[in-house]
């Protein structure tokens, strides 16, 4: 015959203390059980809130997306190749600069028309890019001047 043993229940060392996820809830005035069950409550969203996660932050027509890509490519070619020594890269810079400086509005993808369609001020952007170019060339000439002086000193 097997004797039935009574299980001894011992108090856990942190009995009387709340689990870590419920600490501090006694002070908030919200019952502990209600706070614990709040984790399992469904989120309530209206349709527009749910659909907004799948939509663009700003809406552009496909034509404007293409125009933005053309403008971005021209600015990248203009800035990355400003001090290029390679003939191919220098030609890319010169072509981008010619496109940016051209004030002709007769063709659809001119700098003026692209900026206007995207809501940018073409003259302001043109002036900013030319200011950036002057600063980049000045910085390059100063650094080259320092290199030449260092070579002469040694």
Give tens-digit pLDDT for 12-21: 555 556 555 5
Domain assignment present for 94: yes
Whether residue 95 lies inside any domain: the answer is: yes
**Per-residue pLDDT tens for 80-135?**
999 888 999 999 999 999 999 999 999 899 999 999 999 999 999 999 999 999 99
| Domain of 99, in residue numbers | 62-153
pLDDT over 80 (residue 150): no
116, 63 Cβ separation under 8 angstroms: no
Contact 129, 75 (CB under 8 A): yes
Instruction: Say which residue, 42 or 62, is predicted with more confidence.
Output: 62
The dihedral of CA 133, 134, 137, 139: what is its sign?
negative
pLDDT score at 46: 74
Per-residue pLDDT at 77: 94
Q: Using 50, 70 and 90 to split pLDDT, how confident is the model at 78?
A: very high
Measured from the Cβ of residue 81, the count of other Cβ atoms closer than 10 Å reads 20
In a domain, 100, yes or no: yes
Rounded to two decimals, what is the model's pTM? 0.57
> For residue 61, what pLDDT band results from cuts at 50, 70 and 90?
confident
Report yes or no on 96 lying in a domain. Answer: yes
Q: Tell me the percentage of the chain whose pLDDT exceeds 70.
A: 60
Calpha distance 26→5 (Å, rounded): 39
| pLDDT for res 90 | 94
Helices 87-101 and 122-153, axial angle in degrees (round to 10): 150
The answer to whether residue 133 sits within a structural domain is yes
Q: How many domains does the chain have?
A: 1
């Amino acid at each position: 015959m097997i004797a039935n043993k009574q299980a001894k229940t011992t108090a856990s060392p942190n009995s009387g203390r709340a689990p870590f996820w419920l600490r501090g809830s006694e002070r908030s005035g919200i019952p502990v059980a209600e706070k614990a069950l709040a984790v399992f409550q469904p989120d309530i969203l209206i349709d527009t809130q749910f659909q907004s996660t799948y939509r663009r932050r700003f809406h552009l027509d496909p034509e404007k997306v293409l125009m933005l890509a053309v403008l971005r490519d021209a600015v990248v070619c203009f800035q990355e190749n400003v001090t290029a020594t390679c003939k191919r890269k220098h030609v890319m810079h010169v072509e981008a600069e010619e496109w940016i400086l051209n004030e002709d509005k007769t063709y659809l993808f001119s700098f003026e028309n692209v900026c206007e369609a995207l809501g940018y001020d073409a003259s302001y952007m043109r002036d900013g890019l030319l200011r950036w170019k002057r600063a980049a060339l000045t910085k390059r000439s100063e650094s080259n001047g320092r290199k030449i002086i260092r070579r002469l000193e040694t």
